[in-house]
Amino acid sequence: MRCNNCGWENPDGSQRCEKCNAPLQSGVSYQNLQNLDLHSTIREDKPFEPSHKTTIEETIIEEPQVAQPQPKPQPAPPSDYTGTVNPYEGMGGYVPVVHHCILKPVIFPGEDLRDAPQPINIKGDYNELNRQLLDPNNNTITSKVQATLTNKDGKWYIQNQSVQKTTYVFAEEPVALKTGDIILMGNRTFVFSED
């Protein structure tokens, strides 16, 4: 009995095909089918192959596409940055420009140089000036905030902050400073210079 599924010749009386285990139609044998044109359906020189095979190779499950992380956009550097890459921050890091200036106290006539205050290095864009920073033994300078010294766009500005308004150049509004300007704070005079 020939299997209608794979074309395998099975012994008469078999219920299932020995090759593909498909159920065999009872009462139908190959000998009864000799008068049929089998060449149009089953070729004897090669086993029957179904028109469509479902194989493991055809069942391909595509993996979902995982979005690759995009690099974070670097913020634009502030205007006072040099644009130099900082090796400690990795690519895209910037080294800020640190502005600094010097306040040199003017020595009073007859003042002992050992008691006189030393020149003061000011660094950064915003500084509060007070007695402790300028002249610790001078009670005419307030112990809180005598004045603020700020740098904006490469220019230095001083503004009075003392209650007694004893910061001269009288600086109610920010005033640009340049090398050689003389500043009186309390009764102490300072000469301003950039570097």
100-193 to CATH, choices 3.30.360.10, 3.30.479.30, 2.60.200.20, 1.10.150.80: 2.60.200.20
Q: Which CA distances in Å does 36 have to 1, 26, 47, 90?
A: 15, 18, 18, 82
Q: What is the pLDDT of residues 158-171, one digit of tens each?
A: 888 988 878 877 66
Model pTM? 0.43
* pLDDT one-digit tens code per residue, 168-192: 776 678 888 889 888 888 888 888 9
Q: Which H or E run includes 104?
A: strand 100-105
Alpha carbons 143 and 161: distance in angstroms, whole number: 11
Phi/psi for 58 (5° steps) reads: -75, -25
Whether the pLDDT of residue 32 is over 70: the answer is no
Domain ranges, ordered by start, for the chain: 1-54, 100-193
Q: CA–CA separation, 151 vs 184, rounded Å?
A: 19
Does residue 5 register a pLDDT over 70? Answer: yes
